[in-house]
A and B are shown apart, each in its own frame.
Chain A
């Protein structure tokens, strides 16, 4: 199962290493990870997407992260109403004769052209990871020269539709 975890950490050197080291030690597969400053000074927010086998594994992951001294808060927000965004830069092979065709295809994704060269166009696309995947699939036939993704960042929406289940012993 795919889980989206957000972690609030004290912004100290080595803290990213601590968190990823822990994931490695306990054999969790990270799909993506993003880090950046949060609204509080001295605090950073991480968002990562991991693949786990079952509930027990994810509960263990959350609890192990919680144990870290530099970790203030851990949330598994997978089952909550969330906003999630990722940005991708995609350099697509686009000779002049194919350019308008590609542009019309990517238009529904609201991708923007941020650079273009003789035979290539670089698109910036923002959305949840599924949307990015779809975009990549769509332009792949034209040839992707280069691709760079930021990884997803997310937080919970203000309005929650349904109460989400709590892990058994986490308050």
Chain B
């Protein structure tokens, strides 16, 4: 795939420099920043310049690090999130003060909710005018304090090397999360006279994440699992963050314990694994939700018992002894009473479980019961000769890409259908906005994902409404030669809103239908991207085959049936065992 290989090169090519750099020691705050980013091994920056970061962009011009110029700061930060999710490395963002910084707020919150490592640099007005409502001043430290793992405002250029080291350390260890570093303009231009500041080691007495499990707690878990009759494992994104896929698979196979995923945990176990029950939660499979409802031991590894997963807490896993492994102690016991808490990294905990002398529970009967449920109540939809169904579209994409693509989504119906029908072969190939549920996330995230894996096939599955929230990033595809495939499941509506209005608001479609759409094919063409339109099921196969297998960026506008709803479903306030729409009859 020559075009895909070029992706990286196009960006990696150094910009022409005005002059040869003579000095080896950074001269001012901006140069310190660039040097520190290089020391951290930063491969790519997603950003947008502006007044307060002019010194930083000038330093970047003289001493380049590949930089992707998004067309809106929100696009930049979602791209950084996609990069972080796929590469496992912190995504780096630069934006200017005031509006530049506030445009990042949604992405920062999204990264906080989904535990993505980001280091976000914001410009700030000069220290002398902070607090005077200066031009493009915003209190970004105050604004981002509840939505970051930590944040800093740099007061002295001598602190900058230490702060950047700490920021990367905090973002990428323990439970991952976003860190904001706010740099006043005068700090960026201040003369740097303390090169020894680069040698300072990270020393954070208040931040010591526990990664190794407590031995006695592991023994308790082993005991509970051995004596279980109907055990089930709920594997969350913690598996992926800890890179514990192999250990999970080994543990599941060794003891024959069925496993389900949260939305964000998808890919932690191969989608076609015989012991995989499918995703659990509001639009999970009937089998997975019944397994959670009926289990006697529930082993949660790296999931946070989100309300969209648990349904009504009063009936969630009522008869189960709950074992919860999490790197973040605050997640344990937050929503669900936990008998055996284990604070640890998922990989270390699974290693300890594998090393323990554990007899396998007798699960053959339980697995049969669950298989029968899947046989009786598989995922279903009713075919319609006159219209392409979104589920069919995902199935075709899955077949053509053989389950190997990196798939990104926004939030809503298309997200649920993709989660249901795109069985992932690989970990870290699923990039979706889970906790915050951000429209406009999927497309820029796909751009970031492509930078993390230039040779991978990246498919952004988005809705027609969400896509229009960040569609300006189409500019980037040709500029940086990013062969992302944009698949718009276009139902001319805010699909999930429409579905809820149909179901719970007596079909009063208040502001959820979008009768006037842009011509997405022409829009693609305006950005010099090949656009396709699929209007009937007959066209789907051929168009997808041509478009998805192309080496170029493409946009496919799939006109799908508007009235199609996501099933099965746990209605809000209901328990997981009270799913509706479990079969087509």
Contacts and interface: CB of A to CB of B under 8 A. Distances in A.
A10 interface: yes
A63 B334 CA distance: 10
A53 to B, nearest CB: 14
A142 B205 CA distance: 52
Interface residues of A, number: 23
B141 A67 contact: no
Contact of B145 (A21, A71, A72): A21
Given A14-B141, A60-B334, A69-B170, 18 more contacts: A10-B205, A10-B206, A21-B145, A21-B146, A22-B146, A56-B334, A60-B333, A64-B330, A66-B330, A69-B150, A69-B206, A69-B207, A70-B206, A168-B333, A168-B341, A169-B333, A169-B341, A170-B329
B343 interface: yes
Nearest to A59: B333
25 contacts: A9-B206, A10-B205, A10-B206, A14-B145, A14-B153, A17-B142, A17-B145, A18-B145, A21-B146, A56-B333, A60-B330, A66-B330, A67-B329, A67-B330, A68-B206, A69-B149, A69-B150, A69-B207, A70-B206, A72-B205, A72-B206, A168-B333, A169-B329, A169-B332, A169-B341
Those 5 A-B pairs whose CB atoms lie nearest each other, nearest first = A63-B330, A169-B341, A69-B150, A72-B206, A69-B207
Contacts of B516: none
Contacts of B149: 69
A118 interface: no
B355 interface: no
A165 to B, nearest CB: 15
A10 B332 CA distance: 26
A18 B150 CA distance: 10
B328 interface: yes
Interface centre among A17, A66, A69, A169 (most CB of B within 10 A): A169
B204 interface: yes
Interface of A: 9-10, 14, 17-18, 21-22, 25, 56, 59-60, 63-64, 66-72, 168-170
Nearest to A56: B333
Contacts of A72: 205-206
A69 B146 CA distance: 13
Contacts of A71: 206
A62 B328 CA distance: 13
A68 B332 CA distance: 17
A148 B322 CA distance: 49
Contacts of B141: 14
Nearest to B141: A14
A72 B204 CA distance: 9
Interface string B141-165: 1100110011001000000000000
A69 B333 contact: no
A20 to B, nearest CB: 10
Given A14-B141, A17-B145, A169-B343, A63 B329 contact: yes
A63 B318 CA distance: 25
Contacts of A63: 329-330
A60 B335 CA distance: 10
Contacts of B329: 63, 66-67, 169-170
A168 B342 CA distance: 10
Interface in B329-386: 329-330, 332-334, 341, 343
Contacts of B205: 10, 72
Contacts of A60: 330, 333-334
